[in-house]
Structure 1
Amino acid sequence: MTDRPWLAVYPQGVPADIDATQYPSLVALMDEAFRKHADRVAYSFMGRDVSYAETDTLSSALAAYLQSLGLAKGDRVAIMMPNVPQYPVAVAAVLRAGLVVVNVNPLYTPRELEHQLKDSGAKAIVLIENFANTLQQCLAHTSVKHVVLCAMGDQLGLLKGALVNYVVRKLKKMVPAYHLPAAVRFNDAVAQGARGTLKKPGITPEDIALLQYTGGTTGVSKGAVLLHRNVIANVLQSEAWNDPVMKKLPAGEQPTNVCALPLYHIFAFTVNMMLSLRTGGKTILIPNPRDLPAVLKELSKHRFHSFPAVNTLFNALANHPDFGTVDWSNLKVSLGGGAAVQGAVAQLWLQKTGCPICEGYGLSETSPSVCCNPVTATEFSGTIGVPIPSTWMKLIDDNGKPVTQPNQPGEIAIKGPQLMAGYWQRPDETAKAMTEDGYFKSGDIGVTDERGFFKIVDRKKDMVLVSGFNVYPNEVEGVVANCPGVLECAVVGVPDEKTGEAVKLVIVKKSPDLTEAQVREFCRHELTGYKQPKVIEFRAELPKTPVGKILRRELRDKH
């Protein structure tokens, strides 16, 4: 193995390697948590606390229900919800039944949802009723046979639950009309399952735990196959990395984390939910991080120690007039990931909370964390830090040869126990992504210094990163090309103060009557919010190579 110069900067007590074999599966990890921490609060949501014991009971019943439908080990079950208590219950149920979780972004359009359900071959879906209308539009074209439908207030008790559901459905009108006659309500599914028994399947470290969908340079979303051992490794790596500050908690105080990132995103899935189960922590579920007054109002009721977020959220909160209503003094670690953290944001956050943002780096393909700044750092480094325990990283050139000079750019390549088994049913894409010696090619261009700190300087892929979400130009271009009146188009990322980057769409018109408003309306129907163009520009022609390939870089440079 390559020498690891970065071990010299590890904080005291952080091991060079972790033992990912200590659990045979994520189910074993969860069972241990339910047993050891039965009386503790697992999740806090809208003023209601859900205990570990309750999560255990509910997920066991839902797992028995899923098995009663005839779902067999290895079958895929999609989960499409914001951060509500039913999400962790559904994840635990799917895994305990020996099935595979398919995380779905609830804001997907019918077209995007259909692709993911068809590609994964999901046979069942657990979703919140707010997005039932989206499912209704594509259900017939998928292999989904069973639908479990949740409502926002399901787990809030009779009175409060009914009130919350009334507000969501009638006052805020957040549930468009839908028709899914065969759907079973979440609480009914749990009640049915409770009357049956869960048959415990034999699950090995090599079994698939989840399919985490990620775009590709081809614009087609691919499922990263994450095995039980991949996610276990990343949970233990993250725990070891955070330990130097988390062990400073007063004796007997329950570690508490803020989950404002969506649980369907691998960052929150592993670093909020799974890590919290491992440490017996409490997770504060934030269903809508865009509602800043509600986020701050919720946080003002809690003592919390860990806050994983993206640059845009740190920035929005720190600049909000209600920021001071929250007690930030117990915060031990602010983890920045998903997109580059801006220096100005990091400075403001440190000034206002006294807790520096610790920037890390990861991908869906790596469960996700591979690299992070030491949590003991007292200032923002502007780098993505060093590889975490049991992780190897190197820079390679276009021929796959190692780049050895400090500050010389190369593509970041990664190896470690958190690395996926490959892309779901795409051996060709898997082969393209790997080096001969088993490293994963990230598509990100980085530099490294003598101490082993990595910094990202560019992206090999033309991907646009909007608030931590990947937008692939090819996908957006493919959609816009179908808009009446468009001759050709190109998509690039442009800097944006709020979201880090935004989507810029350049169009050559086929019909002179085409307006910006028409294009925006078309995009609204076909693309989820973060993929929609913020800037639309019309041009007489697009810059191209002699072969006819569109020069995206030129479009970026002219912005």
Structure 2
Amino acid sequence: MAVTYDDSMFKDTFEHEYTWLKGFMRNVRRFANRPAVIDPDTNRSWTYRELNAEANRLANALKSFGVKKDDVVMGALRNSPEFAFMYTGPRKIGAIFLAANFNLACGEMALLINHNKPKVVVYSASIASMMEEASKICLWKPEVFVMADNLEGLALPKGHVSYEDFVKNGAEAEPEIDFRPHIYDEVLRLCTSGTTSLPKFVPVNDINEVLSAHDVIMHYPMNPHDVTLNMTPWFHRGGCHSGGVCPCFYAGAAVVVMRSFRPQTSLDWCEKYKISFIMGAPANLEMLSRVQEKNPRDISSLRGIVTMGAPLSRADCIRFGSVLTKNIFNGYGTTETFWNSFLRPYNLPDGAGSVGVSCTDDEVRVVRLHEDGSRAEPDELVPTDSTTEGEIIICSPAKTTYSYFRNDEMASQKFYKGWMYTGDTGVWDEDWIVTVKGRKDDMMVVSGENIYPAQIEEAILENEKVKDCIVTSVPDKVRGQAVCAYVIAESEDLTVRELNEFCAQSKMLSKYKRPRYFAIVKEIPFTATGKKQHSKMRAQAQKDLEAGILVRV
């Protein structure tokens, strides 16, 4: 391609120097003595200089175990200092940080390890028993399993090492490397639920990291004096990128570590550490509001509350704005694309219920639903009449790689011509403001986690007393949705209690996927072609819940 100037230095500099790590290192130099990580549970904190030293110790320790460029290191970690070290350290030697869901069951974790083949696995001590079992049954054997964040003082599983021992000989100096970083290098890999026990794996490259950080810095806006508290897990896209370690360390701000959500503690820390932004699901904000109403704290430092996962109601916006802060933000997006539309404080409460308009560098559209189930073209738009329902699609070239790791079939279904087809259905108005209406598929969202019925049905069907089953969901104030299972018994003595115990013991069902309601029934609905009718069952489940047919466990 002909150019009108010598672009060689620009290309070379942009492609190799415009990386997230370069931004972090700028902050290590200019904010060396400013706090980067605050861990109230252990009364510890790290400045940017100290965080960099810990990241280097980890990077050099990984090198000693043979980890090199494009190798995978896995972290199944609660929000913790070690998560921050894992987020930063591996990329110094060109390794890929796989941020795994620590809530998985051992069988699910083993599948994840087999698929990604990590050389090193670092996990929180709170899941030691699960990880010990996973390490025994996984076919791929990492070089080492490392137990971290051991607040509980738990015994080290046989053959595993402690994080402290793993990094004790790691030098604090910058590790030597034999490659030149590039903005298209994969540096992070995230998990999002699939239709089977194995999640989909989302590669995130370096320029995605930089531009995701820019998106937050621009929309909050965020600056080096901010202190953030993300009440959701950092292994999520929203946890990591919405006020988590990605934008904060790139902007020079500080993160406060919260391992699990505690509303009273969240408000105490807002007051103590002068937190400026908190992030959480609508259910988190509801609990914060209750506590603040009963026992108010001084949270005047808050400049904003960011929530994702579900739209806010008008009444909630007014209440949260009155009790917590007037600056409420509500984002909509996916693991693959981060957030892509945004309601700002000036959009609320009038815009409540919608997901707002597209973010600055993104575009969100609503395209036609074809009767034959085929995919619409990106320009087959539904009318902007707030009535005609279509599929929501997203163009987000800055924040997605438009791919899944070793899952070309799913990638071809979800990504097309620079757009992601979300599976969400919705409507929009003449201002292109989108409102979500439902799902094309059977996916459920429980406590911010995407779940598909097929995996749960497969696990239940392993019970020899079960002939068939269908899984769906009912609304839940705390979790958003709760899983329920309708079961046809093979044996007449099958009980709900027995079903619950069977699910609790399953190696393929993590806790958040287990049904909270059961019903033993004579039949379940099928289509003429023999497919289970999940949409019909979902509509019936609400009525059955109210009638007491579904039994809570």
Pairwise same-fold verdict (TM > 0.5):
yes
Task: Look up the equivalent residue of 1:109 and give its one-letter code.
Answer: A
After TM superposition, the structure 1 = structure 2 runs for residues 119-158 of structure 1, keeping only pairs within 5 Å, are: 119-140=115-136, 141=138, 142-152=140-150
Shift of 1:488: 0.9
Contact kept? 1:335, 1:359, Cα under 8 Å: yes
Contact kept? 1:24, 1:203, Cα under 8 Å: no
Contact kept? 2:60, 2:175, Cα under 8 Å: yes
1:43 to 37, 41, 45: 37
Shift of 1:94: 1.4
Shift of 1:295: 3.2
Shift of 1:340: 3.3
1:400 aligned to 2:376?
A: yes
* 2:290 alignment partner in structure 1: 319
Tell me the distance in 2 between the aligned counterparts of 1:479 and 1:97: 40
Shift of 1:468: 1.3
SS in 2 for 1:465: strand
SS in 2 for 1:537: strand
1:93 to 74, 89, 93: 89
**Residue 478 and residue 558 in structure 1: after superposition, are their counterparts in 2 closer, same or farther (change >3 A)?**
same
Residue by residue, what CA displacement relative to the aligned partner does 1:468-495 show, whole Å, maximum 9, x if unpaired? 1111111111111112311111111211
* 2:219 alignment partner in structure 1: 241
Shift of 1:302: 2.1
Q: Superposition RMSD on alpha carbons, in Å?
A: 2.2
**Residue 89 and residue 322 in structure 1: after superposition, are their counterparts in 2 closer, same or farther (change >3 A)?**
farther
* 1:26 alignment partner in structure 2: 20
Residue by residue, what CA displacement relative to the aligned partner does 1:440-472 show, whole Å, maximum 9, x if unpaired? 111111212222221111111211111211111
* 2:320 alignment partner in structure 1: 349
1:427 to 408, 414, 439: 408
**Residue 531 and residue 331 in structure 1: after superposition, are their counterparts in 2 closer, same or farther (change >3 A)?**
same
After TM superposition, the structure 1 = structure 2 runs for residues 113-512 of structure 1, keeping only pairs within 5 Å, are: 113-140=109-136, 141=138, 142-152=140-150, 165=151, 168-169=152-153, 175=154, 179-181=157-159, 183-194=160-171, 198-200=175-177, 201-218=179-196, 220-243=198-221, 254-271=225-242, 272-289=244-261, 291-320=262-291, 324-366=295-337, 368-379=338-349, 381=351, 382-397=353-368, 398=370, 399-401=375-377, 402-406=380-384, 407=386, 408-416=388-396, 417-435=398-416, 437-512=417-492
* 2:535 alignment partner in structure 1: 553
Tell me the distance in 2 between the aligned counterparts of 1:114 and 1:103: 15
Shift of 1:259: 1.9
Task: Look up the equivalent residue of 1:44 and give its one-letter code.
Answer: I
**Residue 305 and residue 294 in structure 1: after superposition, are their counterparts in 2 closer, same or farther (change >3 A)?**
closer
SS in 2 for 1:198: coil
SS in 2 for 1:320: helix
- TM-score, normalised with respect to structure 2: 0.87
SS in 2 for 1:339: coil
Bigger shift: 331-340 or 264-273?
Answer: 331-340
Contact kept? 2:72, 2:97, Cα under 8 Å: yes
Shift of 1:30: 1.8
Residue by residue, what CA displacement relative to the aligned partner does 1:518-546 show, whole Å, maximum 9, x if unpaired? 11112222322221111111110001111
* 1:155 alignment partner in structure 2: none
Residue by residue, what CA displacement relative to the aligned partner does 1:336-391 show, whole Å, maximum 9, x if unpaired? 1023334443332112023243211111111x111111344452522112111221
Task: Look up the equivalent residue of 2:532 and give its one-letter code.
Answer: I
Tell me the distance in 1 between the aligned counterparts of 2:514 and 2:214: 37
- Identity fraction in percent: 21
Tell me the distance in 2 between the aligned counterparts of 1:468 and 1:63: 32
Task: Look up the equivalent residue of 2:513 and give its one-letter code.
Answer: K
**Residue 197 and residue 348 in structure 1: after superposition, are their counterparts in 2 closer, same or farther (change >3 A)?**
closer
Task: Look up the equivalent residue of 1:403 and give its one-letter code.
Answer: L
Task: Look up the equivalent residue of 1:513 and give its one-letter code.
Answer: D
Tell me the distance in 2 between the aligned counterparts of 1:322 and 1:352: 7
Bigger shift: 299-308 or 472-481?
Answer: 299-308
Tell me the distance in 2 between the aligned counterparts of 1:136 and 1:533: 25
Bigger shift: 90-99 or 321-330?
Answer: 321-330
Residue by residue, what CA displacement relative to the aligned partner does 1:4-37 show, whole Å, maximum 9, x if unpaired? xxxxxxxxxxxxxxxx979532222221222221
How many residues align? The count is 510
Show structure 1 runs of 5+ residues with no match. Answer: 1-19, 153-164, 170-174, 248-252
Task: Look up the equivalent residue of 2:33 and give its one-letter code.
Answer: D
Tell me the distance in 2 between the aligned counterparts of 1:307 and 1:193: 34
Shift of 1:196: 7.4
Tell me the distance in 1 between the aligned counterparts of 2:526 and 2:172: 65
**Residue 314 and residue 105 in structure 1: after superposition, are their counterparts in 2 closer, same or farther (change >3 A)?**
same
Contact kept? 1:23, 1:29, Cα under 8 Å: no
Task: Look up the equivalent residue of 2:166 and give its one-letter code.
Answer: A
Bigger shift: 321-330 or 139-148?
Answer: 321-330
Contact kept? 1:241, 1:375, Cα under 8 Å: no
Contact kept? 1:412, 1:441, Cα under 8 Å: yes
Task: Look up the equivalent residue of 2:220 and give its one-letter code.
Answer: N
Shift of 1:322: 7.4
**Residue 360 and residue 120 in structure 1: after superposition, are their counterparts in 2 closer, same or farther (change >3 A)?**
same
SS in 2 for 1:345: helix
Task: Look up the equivalent residue of 1:193 and give its one-letter code.
Answer: G
Contact kept? 1:217, 1:461, Cα under 8 Å: no
Shift of 1:179: 2.5
Bigger shift: 135-144 or 227-236?
Answer: 135-144
* 2:549 alignment partner in structure 1: none
Shift of 1:508: 0.7
Task: Look up the equivalent residue of 1:274 and give its one-letter code.
Answer: C
SS in 1 for 2:493: coil
Contact kept? 1:411, 1:442, Cα under 8 Å: yes
Show structure 2 runs of 5+ residues with no match. Answer: 1-13, 542-553
Bigger shift: 218-227 or 542-551?
Answer: 218-227
**Residue 108 and residue 365 in structure 1: after superposition, are their counterparts in 2 closer, same or farther (change >3 A)?**
same
Task: Look up the equivalent residue of 2:162 and give its one-letter code.
Answer: R
- TM-score, normalised with respect to structure 1: 0.86
Residue by residue, what CA displacement relative to the aligned partner does 1:174-202 show, whole Å, maximum 9, x if unpaired? x4x66332x33222232211177612342
Shift of 1:219: 5.6
